[in-house]
Amino acid sequence: MRSVGLCAVALVALSVPAVAADMPILRGSQDVFPSEPVYFRWQGVYVGGQAGYASSSADLSRAAQPQLQYLLRESVLAGPVSGWELLGKGSATAITYGGFVGYNFQWDDAVLGVEANYNRTSFKVSSAGSLARSLTNPSGSTPPPGHTYTYNVATQAAASINVTDVATFRARGGWAAGPYMPYAFVGAAVGRADVSRSASFWGTLDDDYFVTIIGPGGFPILDPRRDTYSLVPGQKGENKSGVFIYGWTAGLGLDVALTENIFLRGEWEWVQFGSVEGISVSISSIRGAVGAKF
């Protein structure tokens, strides 16, 4: 029995080195505690300057309607004539420059942030047009029995808008892929613009009717007659500077870190403004930037 016990102890002693050699903890702690992935640090405050190229389109087709409606406010022509679209759409291109400031929050490779972005520019779009029509007995006219009223109306209008400043306030979402961070954003937009618009009209009123006269042989004859009156012409114009316009923005971009604190940026942005003075404006921009983060 003693010999059997000694043999068992010997076998256990011999097996300890083999087991110990197979234990990962004795070969290095990295096998037990794998290293955490390292993400580039985007979190914190950042600022930068930017410049770019942008194109703007504006719809001025309804810009003159309020002026015509005002000029004809006491006339039966107010309804039909003020709805005429005398103007059209236009586009312009311009260089933009400005700056931005923001803050990033980071969770591993997910980056969320807020940013204020400003650009100085000059998008001037204008349109001019005229239209002449004849309106017979328009709604609201009350010609005497047997009479027909025909309004011969000519109109002319012009309008322009010059967007000088654009600021956007964004919520950003990005992905930290090493020194690269592609991102998307949405937000609110506010701008300033100089607006000019004018409208005028003139024309005549024809009153057509028949009178009965005695013709040859004593027979009555209906004789057509026309009386023509000049309409009192009207003109109205206005110029407004620094008008605020509001809308929304969305876009895509890429930040590229050159050092721990310096980064480059490439970006595309769309801004859509609501109607101001009857004019709606949209802007598409591409720009490059350099920034610093802290």
What is the per-residue pLDDT across 267-287, written as a single tens digit (0 to 9) for each?
Answer: 999 999 999 989 999 999 999
User: 163-179, pLDDT tens digit by residue?
Assistant: 999 999 999 999 999 89
pTM value? 0.78
Burial call 186-224: b when 16+ CB within 10 Å, e when fewer: ebebbbebbbbbbbbbbbebeebbeeeeeeeeeeeeeee
pLDDT single digits (tens) 199-227: 999 999 999 999 988 878 778 888 899 99
Closest CA to 189 of 126, 115, 255, 239: 115
Domain ranges, ordered by start, for the chain: 44-293
Q: Looking at the domain covering 44-293, what would its CATH class be?
A: mainly beta
